[in-house]
Amino acid sequence: MSVRILDGTKISAEIKAELAAEVQQLAKDGLRPGLAAVLVGNDPASEVYVRSKVKTCEQLGLYSEKITPPADISTDGLLAIIKDLNQRDEIHGILVQLPLPKHIDSKKILLAIDPAKDVDGFHPVNVGLLSTQQPGLVPCTPAGCIEILGRSGIKLEGSEAVVVGRSDIVGKPVAMLLTNANATVTICHSRTRDLREVCRRADILVAAIGRAAMITPDMVRPGATIIDVGINRITDPKTFESLYAGDQARAKQFAERGSTLCGDVHPRVADVAGAITPVPGGVGPLTIAMLMSNTVRAAKLRCRTRVVTAS
């Protein structure tokens, strides 16, 4: 039986279509969700990411602003920008593109964002809301993982899930989301004893460790569902050959570009898994879709709060 490919690009398009319709309906009620993207300096990769986010806002009918302070701005200067955005009614979501220049206190900046506008879902208030199953803003990549599973008909309740990676951005929040969905969850990390055996128990295995091809076929129970969060760039020809021997399409791409993207899951895992997200085209496209979803959610929550306060 061939492995089922969980197409993140297709699912992302479905979510965006739903959001576009919702944004149109909100506009009739006089509400246009707004996102401010703060890009400090001129990091090329960050510029690409922010450009994509602003473009998606335009496609869906959201209001967006790109704010580009110089790379030498001080922490206090950036805090002043955040304070202003917190107070603006037309801005419902604030995104500070990471990484910030080393001289800026990133933690202080992220903590300064109004939790109600924290569309990345990183603020401790939103982390607390997630852990206590209250309405809040959830980190985009973990939320995307859950959307892929849910929209693909993968059963979560009663399933045994293993998350490899314990970062605050992906590992911990995706484990909480799975727990909230009544899965039985194990979080693994670099100190986990006998990682192979722990992973082989999983009905659902989420790989978010940040190491290319770390999850090998012998670590996967036959028929398991694999969510590969990793995005690693492979540039060494020997490494490429060891991972993708026989993949002519990928070999052509590698020859043209000098690199290819590889997840945290070894390509051969597809030989034993029941379902798997590809890299690229799996979890990645969901991240921006969920950022848009969070912006719309933040706008609705803010509007609801104002109505309650006024009454």
Asked whether 249 and 196 are in contact (CB, 8 A), the reply is: no
Strand partners, 207: 164, 228
Tokens of 305: 């709060």
Is residue 28 part of the annotated active site? The answer reads: no
Q: Find the catalytic residue in 53, 114, 172, 264.
A: 53
Q: Sign of dihedral through CA atoms 147, 153, 157, 162?
A: negative
Closest CA to 77 of 99, 51, 95, 101: 101
Rounded to whole angstroms, what are the CA distances from 93 to 71, 130, 293?
A: 22, 18, 10
CA–centroid distance for 260 within its chain: 20
Q: Which of 129-137's residues contact partners 24+ apart within 8 Å by CB, and which partners?
A: 130/173, 130/176, 130/177, 130/180, 131/176, 133/180, 135/301, 137/294, 137/297, 137/298
Bridge partner list, 187: 163
97 catalytically annotated: yes
Q: Of 16, 114, 117, 120, which is the active-site residue?
A: 120
120 catalytic per annotation: yes
Please give the span between the terminal C-alpha atoms of the chain, in angstroms, as a whole number. Answer: 59
In three-state secondary structure terms, 261 is strand
Q: How far apart are CA 278 and CA 12, in angstroms?
A: 14
Instruction: Give the residue numbers annotated as catalytic, written as ranges.
Output: 53, 97, 120
